[in-house]
Structure 1
Amino acid sequence: MSVGGVGIPRLQDLAYVEVALRQVAQGATFEQVRRALVDRAAGVARDGDTDGSYSARKWELARSDTKKYVHNTVDVLKELMRLGWVERHILPSGPNSAYAHADSVFTPTPAGERWAALVAEDRRAAYNALTGVLLSTHPQFEGFLRLLGARPDSEGTHLTIPLLRFSASAYRSNEAYLDDFVRFAVEAVAQGALGWTATPEAVDEGVRGYVRRIEERARARQKELSRKQFATTCEEAMARLVFSAAGCSLDYISLELLRRWTRFLGLANFSYYAPGPSAMRLWSTALVTGSGAGVEIRRRVGKEVRRAALDTLWAVWREQRSDAAGGMYLPVWQLRAAVCWKQRISDDEFDRALREALAGEHPGLGLRIHLDQASMRGAPASTRPLIIPSASGLRRVFNVISVAPESPAHPALPTATKET
């Protein structure tokens, strides 16, 4: 299988690079690498389980099925070869031919051996080094960071993709939704401040043309797009148009991967729920200079950054409450999106700031913060819950938050309730 090209590799989890290279350095076979990746995926699923849906049996079956995770294994090994960390080697063309390569072993290059040693010694430094190599290898990775404001030559600080939210009850036909979607996007571009621009004609043709092509492909297979699939196709069309207009052409899958990678690396963040008209907003959370071995990264992290986020919490809370439909609480994910967008920080920094506030590490904050495990409504799939370990070691998931100013009658006393 070819390992050429500079497109974004289909790695759902960037940590697969670490897992696979460590296995290669230890002389593991293709099958052993595959099992190690399944174990990594199972661990992520287990750690992220907040509703009891994790199934150990499911992952045991995946581990024993030699056709599962073959594509993931091939993709990460191809990427390691492309990065110059593993010597070139023939790989399976797909799951059905994996059996013929099960006992294949791979040879790390000196550069690969150095990175494997570094990740075992200093994981943060290793992933900084990986960032430098990715910048040198994948122009789209560099372009993505530049458009979000993470590079020294960036002209802006964010990129906004206008998206009209879909409601089956509001639209009786796909065409009606598409018309409003295009109109909404054209008006958003006219208002500016999106980090890109395009003519109304380009927006109209870019969105409608893409949707038309996807519909034609579906019909060629004697299928019709569902209402949900149609709305998703409109979002894909808009995202492709935006990045093309901004000078960094990306397909939608590459966009999903890059926003996941850069969030994992602490370089950028995104949200569908930041304040303002409906959109996907992406912003940098670091400044990245240089590339390769000369890369330098300055992330917006630390106690001062977290204190600044907490200092804006009251103003953001009031803004969010003014749009809420009664009640004393807001979803944690909603307030998090607003603060992170305003402060240009990561979700991790916001969550850590709340944990520090609850532990009394920010004296003089002047706020009473209350968290609860009750749920106002289901959290969107693109968000994640706030998890705070209890003193007994249990993980508590908090869904809603209330913020109030400190007063003489009610001194600052951050609380978290309902331990389970």
Structure 2
Amino acid sequence: MYVKKFKALDRRTFLKGAGGALMALPMLESMANSNDPSKSPKRMVCAAVFYGLMPKYFTPEKTGFDYELSPLLEPLAQHKKDFSVFSGLDHNIGGGHQSTRYFLNGIPVTQARGYAEGNISVDQKAAQFVGSETRYPSLVLGATSNTMNYISWSENSIAKAQITKVSHLYNILFLNKGKKQKIQFEQGLKDKSSILDLVREDAKKYKNKFSQSDKDKLDQYFTSIRELEKRAEQSRTWLHRPKAKSNYTLNPDVDQLDIAQRMNYYYDLMALALQTDSTRVISLSFSGLGPNYGGFEGVSHDMHTLSHHGNVESTMKELLLIEKSQMAGFSYFLDKLKAIKEPSGKTLFDSTMSLFGCGMSSGNSHSNRNLPVVLAGGGFKHGEHKKYQRKNNESVELSNLYLSMLQNFGLEIDSFNKSQGPLKNLERIS
């Protein structure tokens, strides 16, 4: 029997309708991968909490594949074979709460000058690689409005602005601009470009008169300008392309819900964003409870107070309710990814590296050692508690794991920030 072979279509292929209007094709099997239809594009999701995860309840006692789930890992029980839990990894920095912001990069702003890419975070490094392949190179989300909860950093050591409202996230994914809005938006992009051109020319005129310190600041400033220009060009590229469609129903009062009730809405939309290929890189942070103690049943204190529990059993049990709920939210997200089949025949879970953890291990002691980290899916061999030993009073760099993730994402790099090489004993299977 003759079987007709179809050439793989480019993911940017569009059909022209009446009047030349662009209509996006649905995700087809022939679009799964231009070079190999059996493969799906890699994705990366990084979720972080800000007050640690109590080591007593997080770290398993045994190592290897036959370890028993700790109380904080119990919500992930159905995924045990599909995630790895790590011990002994951190960034070899102190700072307590201040260093939670550097969970995804390991380099405080004050130390970024000596690095070629500043203190860029792992998600933004991946986003650079994606570029304009998707509507959004990355989505940076913050479940609570708090200036402390920045975890995503650009190469010029500037924290990335976060989307903090679920309704806003839904709108940028699925709500198309009207004709008038598009014209106004395009004019705004032109105005910004003109302003950036003028600023650049003025700065160049006086560059030779600046001190070395000012030149360094100016270089950082130019990097910011280039980033703005890239963002503007990205907006132009996708402005007239229709957004993905979804029959997902959003609670009209979602932004007024407590974080306990709002959490899964973030995860629902994150899964949809990946499924529709609106983005391939997402970061999400939880830095507090908000009003009503987050709406968590049995909780009657704020997160910061509970994190300084002083080893008081009743306080720790109250904090455990929150931390378990946060882990349950992550488990819910993994469930969503496993339920979504891709044209390649695999699930979205198989192509998505999903990281969960914190830049501080214990809020009670303000320790930044032995960070709690879980990695699920995404093409690695999982199911193990991997423990790494300190040498010469230094921990194995968490950036080693990030380098492994970036290489798995497709980047041909040998280092990332302070990494010492890819993380050992982490096998890649796809």
Q: Normalising by the residue count of structure 1, what TM-score does the alignment of the two structures yield?
A: 0.22
Instruction: Return the structure number with greater relative CO, CA threshold 8 A, min gap 6.
Output: 2
Structure with greater helix percent: 1
Q: What is the TM-score of this pair, normalised by structure 2? A: 0.21
